[in-house]
Amino acid sequence: MSATFDAAVEAAQRWTIFDPEARFRSQIDHLVDAQDPRLIELFDGRIAFGTAGLRAAVGPGPRRMNALVVRQATVGVVRVLQDNGIEQPLVVIGFDARHDSAEFARHSAAAVVAAGGRVQLADQALATPIVAHAVLAEAADAGIVITASHNPPADNGYKLYLGDGRQLVDPFDVDIAAAIDELAAGWHEYGPAVDDAYAGLLAGDSHDRFAQIDADRWAGLHRSAAVAEANRFRGDTPARPLCVVYTAMHGVGGAATLAAFAAADLPAPILTATQFDPDPEFPTVAFPNPEEDGALDQALSVATSNDADAVFAHDPDADRLAVAVRARSGQQFVTLSGDQLGVLLGDYLIRKSSGDRLVARSVVSSRLLDAVAAAAGVACEATLTGFKWVARAIDHHPGRTWLYGYEEAIGYSIGSHVRDKDGITAALVAHAALSELAAHDRTVWDRFDELAAQHGVYEARPVSLRFDEDPSVMGDLVDRLVSSPPTTIGGSPVRSGPIGSGALPPTSGVELLAEDQTRVIVRPSGTEPKVKAYVEVIEPVSPTAADPAAAVAIARAEAQARLAQVCDEVRDLLRSNETAATS
């Protein structure tokens, strides 16, 4: 066997000394006895803190999600907080309803106590935005949510907020990763204390630095803030109440969403009963993500049967929102893209507010929000991808009122009570926006046409390639595009450069901007084994057209044809670079 394999065996045997989970100790022993080369995959390196903290399949070793990884990560978090002058940091901890989430949360709580911190642990599963709000409501120094959001059932994850309620960025992610590496190397010094703390929590021993929190209290605090925020923007209501079908996608958003609708005096949504209760197996969907083909089929069937106006869907931890509405024909339902809903919400919030305001979008999201904001005299900032960046836009605009931020991956943040994606508050505001349109006998398509007449037609679509078998290829593919970008896109000459044209912090990927304003951004996903390309075309609409509606229709058809052509080019571009990267 190779030296790499021998090192993996040594690391695996050392790991079993401290792994508190018998199931994984047994698996590791079996792999060692069988001299299984999979040990290299499991023990060569660690999960790195990414866009959403830690996220991986549950399994043994430092490259999977398990109790020891959670313990070491949490001690590392507390250590960094202490190094920054917080002697006994307060950490709030929540978890979703996935397999192992509650158990990993307990291990994390024990690690906080063992490391000298204070902890508040929810007593039942909660939506991620509720825990994000609890960080602020409890004046905590950090917050941890055990969740893998919309990942497959086999996965779990560890999401971290700092005391400002936002996800961590450099230098804290680098500092925490370094602390974890140091702690893991000397875990014999720290592991016994965590073992003792964990045993005490299981036994119900009282501890002055541990508190079990009624999750309903945190949910109530978030609900009050969400309803108050949404009511600031309440518009006209239709004569007939909006009929909405709701699916929780087998996640934890259901109860909180129903309570929020009731508190906001909105009609209760019709439930997709087969997907309402939390179920870690996600039995009715191939992939528990509202953006995936087929994920909304059951909800759309319920909506059709009940002649509903719209479908609202949360992902399993309810930080993201998808909305489907009647198509232009008024017959079938169509799911709004993240950009369509993002612009619709942004436009509504801007029209319903005043003052010196700020909105933000991730750099891969639609530039139409910039145009809508500029026309209303509202500042709009483009940030790096991920809400850890979107939520920081306010730092660059002191004195302005933070209104709204979004990313095309159906993530929306309204107001400052949650400084991350919040699908529950977004659902309340989406309901208000759709209700106002209905009150004036208009549809979302009417509003999109009005925006197109004013700003031009913006059409966007993502293109992606998955790399489940060998994610390491993703970096090579992107590097090849950076070093050898295409010279034209859609027949228009291209200028290539870093994402954000160098105005943003360096990040992996490349931005291609054509002379006709077609934009393509290619980057590796921070949460999935995908390389993603974000394509957007802009087609002007003549402001002096004799028939504005016809002019918009013509421009939209031209934009959609151009978009299809460019997406085909980009797909071929990714595949050719994939072939080169793997050859």
Q: Helices 101-114 and 67-83: crossing angle, nearest 10°?
A: 40
Q: Which residues contact 217 (CB under 8 A, 6 or more apart)?
A: none
First to last CA, the chain: 26
Q: Is residue 553 classed as helix, strand or coil in its secondary structure? A: helix
Peptide bond before residue 171 is cis, with ω within 30 degrees of 0: yes
The DSSP string of 357-379 is: EEEEEETTS-THHHHHHHHTT-E
Give one DSSP letter per residue of 36-78, joined into a string.
-THHHHHHSS-PPPBTTBEEEEB-SSTTSB-HHHHHHHHHHHH
Residue 482: name the closest of 573, 386, 409 by CA: 573
Provide the 3-class DSSP secondary structure of residue 566.
Answer: helix
Return the number of other C-beta atoms located less than 10 Å from residue 147's C-beta. Answer: 35
Distance CA 376, CA 367 (A): 15
374 token code pair: 């500029």
Alpha-carbon distances of 126 from 107, 147, 268, 529, rounded to whole Å: 17, 10, 20, 27
Q: How far is CA 22 from CA 13, 59, 188, 298, 434, in A?
A: 14, 12, 18, 39, 52
Q: Where are the alpha helices (DSSP H) in 458-527?
A: 473-483
Phi (first) and psi of residue 286, to 5 degrees: -70, -30
Q: How far apart are CA 200 and CA 209, in angstroms?
A: 12
**Helices 444-455 and 368-375, packing angle to 10 deg:** 80
β strands within 397-470, DSSP E: 401-407, 411-414, 457-466
Asked if 510 and 340 touch (Cβ cutoff 8 Å), the reply is: no
Q: By 3-state DSSP, what share of the chain in percent is helix, strand and coil, each rounded to 5? A: 45, 20, 35
Residue 239 and residue 251: Cα distance in Å, rounded?
Answer: 33
Tokens of 176: 């925490």
**The one-letter amino acid at 293:** D
Q: Which amino acid is at 344?
A: L
Phi-psi region of 399 (alpha: psi -120 to 50; beta: other; left: phi over 0): left
Q: Phi/psi of residue 257, each to 5°?
A: -70, -45
The neighbour count for residue 431, using CB atoms within 10 Å, is 25
- As given in the structure block, the two tokens for residue 337 are 């893209």
Point out the residues that are catalytic.
149
Pull the structure tokens for residue 339. Answer: 């950009």
